[in-house]
Chain A
Amino acid sequence: MKDFKNIFDSYNWDDVKQSILAKTDADVLQALQKERRTLEDFKAMISSAAMPYLEQMAQLSNALTQKRFGKTIQMYAPLYLSNECQNICTYCAFSYNNKIKRKTLSDNEILREVAVIKEMGYDHVLLVTGEANQTVGVEYLRHAIKLIRPHFSNISIEVQPLDKADYEILMDEGLHTVLVYQETYHRENYKIHHPKGRKSNFDYRLETPDRLGQAGVYKIGLGVLIGLEDWRTDCFFTAAHLDYLEKTYWQTKYSISFPRLRPIEVGTQENSSMKSFTAFMSDKELVQLICAYRIFNEEVELSISTRENEKFRNHIIKLGITSMSAGSKTNPGGYAVEPQSLEQFEISDERSPKEIAAIIKQQGYEAVWKDWDRSLVNG
């Protein structure tokens, strides 16, 4: 059986980029008028030719999202367990070469963080770590999931890519979802953004969703970091990856995120500075992308984090999004243990989950805190 790597290798980055640039008004119109859309239609909808049709795309995205997901937004909170990391990623504050204080939460500290997150109203949690296999390996994750399982209905992770057998171990403890972003599908430049550490292995990362599908994880989260390479080409590959996965692992759910790079703190604790990234994508383009994903795939979940600012998040609720975080801390211990420690990235929307739930209500939607039951997961 072909895995995604075979399909991926049949594409050429520059050809894909050119084919998106070549999309015309007529291609966009045709895409919007169809009942089910292909990858070529997706290219048309993310191309600049689609810009004049943004309002129509937004209306369509709104209607399709309501049909499938109703007037609801699911709520989740990230819980950073560790910032230890052996990888160098040029855009990340936890990068190995960034001289910051490293921290991995103990059991007691995890439970203190859990108490605060529960108090905020959350029942779905996303565990996040860097990649440090000695201290934060499979055994640490297994133990952490076991520890927090009684407190949450749904547990997701966003950690280093693992082997299939490792995912199976974690699923036995109650793991539901795994997020693993490719960061970029530009094979050559991936090496520039990830010069050192296990993460520099492009293919192992690319093949991770296949391993997840084979392990039978309930939901797989895909995405690229927007700001590293041409977002249109990168998002095309995300859509192609999704298309392949849905047909191959048809019992699995999928979600997509579209994190735009935020400023990060670099240097030492005494002498730090902020590193920012060129804005590769405007708000308009992000709306275009979200609508394009929705119109391309009516069933995929679309998630937005606190990387985006208040105004944008207020308005994006109606445009195709199905899940949101709020009140997030992106540093291990950020909720209770060490609120002042270094964050992975600076968040743009600091409003509390209750405030966000009120905004969601104002927009005519309901914030959903529980949409899974731990009894439904094996183990």
Chain B
Amino acid sequence: MKPLIIGDKTFGSRLFTGTGKFSSSQLMEEALLASGSELVTVALKRVDVNSNSDDILKHLSHTQFNLLPNTSGVRNAKEAVFAAQLAREALETNWLKLEIHPDPKYLLPDAIETLNAAEELVKLGFIVLPYIHADPVLCKRLEEVGTAAVMPLGSAIGSNKGLRTRDFLEIIIEQSKIPVVVDAGIGAPSHAAEAMEMGADAVLVNTAIAVSENPVQMAKAFKMAVEAGRMAYEAKLAKPKNFAEASSPLTAFLED
């Protein structure tokens, strides 16, 4: 499998993970280690940056985990930029998962605020990975302002519904010059494999692992699915045929 390069980092694993919803930080650590994930996102609002012994950060202090702070909780670009600067200072990384979802019910991203914040954060030197709708035009606009990747959603966050935005993800993947990470809605390893087979560069999974009966085993299942999907993509999947082989071809006369 080809390694994935985003910004200044090279990843062997194409499975990115979240840190919320686990029944304990210990279990989170075990599951994330089992997933092989090298990029884990953590909400600024959950960590106590003033304490040296924050429980979540303590359990993430493995060298293979690169931290990806996220701005969950902010409602607009101004708040996002402020939170990003705090996260950079506290967690000592300029990587950022930009999440602006002013709608606390479905946690759907605000395209306008996200684009504005992304532009400013790139100027401030951040490696920005924005969480967005599967909107191909928005993805190109984000690419133009200099984000390191785009993270379109498969379906609503935490919904486990899979790739309901499939048609638009295909366009995004086809057009994008920067890595495409499918984020949100991936509820089963088969969904992750499907995204990877389509040519997504990576997927981000949280709820499906954290809330399962056995998060460690589920993390391994996702690891395998992501690898399988990527390998299949690189090996060039046979496309299903759209046309039947006609027994009396309509264009045969041209050969006469």
Contact = CB atoms under 8 A, between A and B. Distances in A.
A365 B48 contact: no
Interface of A: 66-72, 123, 153, 246, 250-253, 299, 361, 364-366, 368, 370-373, 375-376, 378
Given A70-B207, A70-B210, A250-B103, A366 B22 contact: yes
B88 interface: no
Contacts of A71: 21-23, 210-211
Contacts of A252: 104
A251 B103 contact: yes
Interface stretch (B72-80, B119-127, B175-183, B197-205): B72-80
Contact of B211 (A67, A123, A153): A67
A67 B159 CA distance: 7
6 contacts: A68-B158, A70-B23, A71-B210, A252-B104, A371-B46, A373-B83
A252 B102 CA distance: 8
Nearest to A71: B23
A71 B45 CA distance: 17
Contact of B21 (A69, A246, A364, A378): A69
Nearest to A376: B73
B30 to A, nearest CB: 14
B81 to A, nearest CB: 12
Nearest to B51: A370
Contacts of A364: 23
Interface hub of B45, B48, B82, B159 (most chain A Cβ within 10 A) = B45
B61 interface: no
Nearest to A72: B21
A370 B159 CA distance: 24
Given A71-B21, A375-B83, 6 more contacts: A66-B211, A71-B22, A71-B23, A72-B20, A246-B105, A252-B104
Contact of B23 (A299, A365, A378): A365
Given A71-B22, A71-B211, A368 B104 contact: no
Contact of B24 (A250, A251, A366, A378): A366
Nearest to B85: A375
B25 interface: yes
Contacts of A365: 23
Contacts of A368: 46
B44 interface: yes
Interface string B1-37: 0000000000000000000111111000000000000
Contacts of B237: none
A56 B82 CA distance: 45
B128 to A, nearest CB: 19
Given A371-B45, A376-B45, A376-B79, A70 B86 contact: no
Contact of A70 (B21, B79, B159): B21
Contacts of B160: 67
A173 to B, nearest CB: 17
A366 B211 CA distance: 12
Contacts of A376: 45, 73-74, 79, 83
Contacts of B102: 251
A194 B159 CA distance: 44
